[in-house]
Amino acid sequence: MDNNKKDKKRILNLGILAFAPLVLFAFWLLYYFIILGDYIVEQRLEEHLEIAGTTVEYYTPLFLLLGTNFVVAFIAFLYFVLNIWTRPDVPSGNKIVWVIFLATFNLVAFPVFWYMHIKNDYVRTANASPALS
């Protein structure tokens, strides 16, 4: 019973790790749009120098949010690549495809990988079907 509780907590924590880069990027984008809100609402997007000046003015918080996002996404990428690479039930060709998918579309790929390989993992092992060979 205790092992099942640990598995559910592990699944929840990895779900948080999978969705964190996407949520952090959404926060960064929201913050950037709030900063540039006056230009967007008043349709003054042609004032490039003023927009660049506003961006430079808020450079530090923008950089910290994006840097944090990068670090979390890199940690998630490393964990999920190691996770898929050490799974004996996944064929080698699928592993390579997953690594490329995780590297290319990471913000969207992490939740997809979590849902397909981690969230439903206990269902797959509990209800293992016989081989069709």
Q: What does the pLDDT average to over 98-126?
A: 84
The token pair at 67 is 């840097």
In terms of Cα–Cα distance, which of 2, 60, 11, 72 is closest to 31? 60
pLDDT tens digits, 51-93: 777 778 888 888 999 999 999 999 999 999 999 999 888 888 8
Predicted pLDDT of residue 122: 58
Predicted pLDDT of residue 24: 94
Site of tokens 């890199």: 74
Q: At 126, is the pLDDT very low, low, confident or very high (cuts 50, 70, 90)?
A: low
Chain-centre distance for alpha carbon 57: 28
- What mean pLDDT, rounded, does the chain reach? 83
Helix (H, G, I), strand (E, B) or coil at 3: helix
Residue 68 DSSP one-character state: H
Residues 6+ apart with CB under 8 A from 17: 72, 75, 76, 79, 110, 114
Helices of type H across 36-87: 37-41, 48-57, 59-85
